Amino acid sequence: MKRRDFLRSTGALGATGALLALGGCDQPSTEPQSPIAYEPGKPVPWINWAGNQSCQPQHRPAPASIDELVSVLKTAKGTVRAVGAGHSFSAVVPTDDTLIATDLLSGVIDHDPVTNTAQVLSGTRLHDLGYRLADIGQALPNMPDMAYLALGGAIVNCAHATGVNFGSMGSYVNSLRLATVGGIFVG
Ligand SMILES: Cc1cc2nc3c(=O)[nH]c(=O)nc-3n(C[C@H](O)[C@H](O)[C@H](O)COP(=O)(O)OP(=O)(O)OC[C@H]3O[C@@H](n4cnc5c(N)ncnc54)[C@H](O)[C@@H]3O)c2cc1C
């Protein structure tokens, strides 16, 4: 059974269902690849990686700077959500109102060689971050088994790897600059 099919089964059936679903490993999946089809005249569907979450956002801004992000937030309509790599398999991303793509908010914007810290935009994908940190002589102590994740999504969900002495991605954060409708908050 493919990893994507497994996640879809476990999401739909729960923990007990996961065990039942494993019994059918040799059965080819007959499920459609996409849980929601595009219909002309309706918003283009958003679908997560596993294919078990979807929505049809009316607005899908993709700000390319922090200033642009704040201005998007100030004029955003309805329920506003951000999306990183869309690898969460629970319903933490879907909204039919405003879905903000963070892909263009990417890169290391500052670093401190003394404290060995870096300021990184939250849309940076982990597979990209490794190279960018290497350029400044830094590296993540540990990371999840999946490098497609965006840093923001990995921090929000406290994505983790293995090893009892390593914290989750959230534990690597010293401070945050949070964009809100009221502007930028530092914490
Ligand atoms: C194949 C696979 C392997 C995985 N392996 C691991 C693993 O090894 N360890 C582990 O812990 N987890 C693992 N996961 C779970 C996954 O790492 C988490 O769900 C992770 O948070 C997904 O990151 P993302 O960038 O896709 O976030 P998304 O799913 O896009 O978003 C996650 C949440 O963060 C919010 N968010 C995203 N970006 C921002 C932002 N810039 N600002 C504010 N909020 C934001 C979203 O609104 C949403 O609530 C795996 C998932 C899959 C599908």
Please tell me the distance between residue 21's alpha carbon and the centre of ligand 1 in angstroms: 24
C-alpha 70/C-alpha 5 separation (Å) is 37
Instruction: Please list, in sequence order, all residues whose beta carbon lies within 8 angstroms of the beta carbon of residue 24, skipping any fewer than 6 positions away.
Output: 1
C-alpha 3/C-alpha 12 separation (Å) is 14
Q: Pick the atom of ligand 1 nearest to 155's CA.
A: 21
Separation of CA 178 from chain center: 16
Place of tokens 């497994």: 6
* Residue 76 predicted with pLDDT over 90: yes
Whose alpha carbon is nearest atom 42 of ligand 1? 152
Q: Which residue has the higher pLDDT, 86 or 5?
A: 86
pLDDT in tens, 1-38: 566 666 666 554 343 334 444 445 566 666 656 778 88
pLDDT of residue 5: 64
Give, for ligand 1, the residue of 47, 157, 162 to mutate: max count of ligand atoms closer than 8 Å to Cβ: 157
- The model's confidence at residue 142, banded by pLDDT at 50, 70 and 90, is very high
Whose alpha carbon is nearest atom 33 of ligand 1? 153
Find the mean pLDDT for residues 105-117.
97
Report angle CA 150, 151, 156 to the nearest 5 degrees.
Answer: 100
Place of tokens 């903000």: 100
Domains of the chain: 1-31 (no CATH), 37-187 (3.30.465.10)
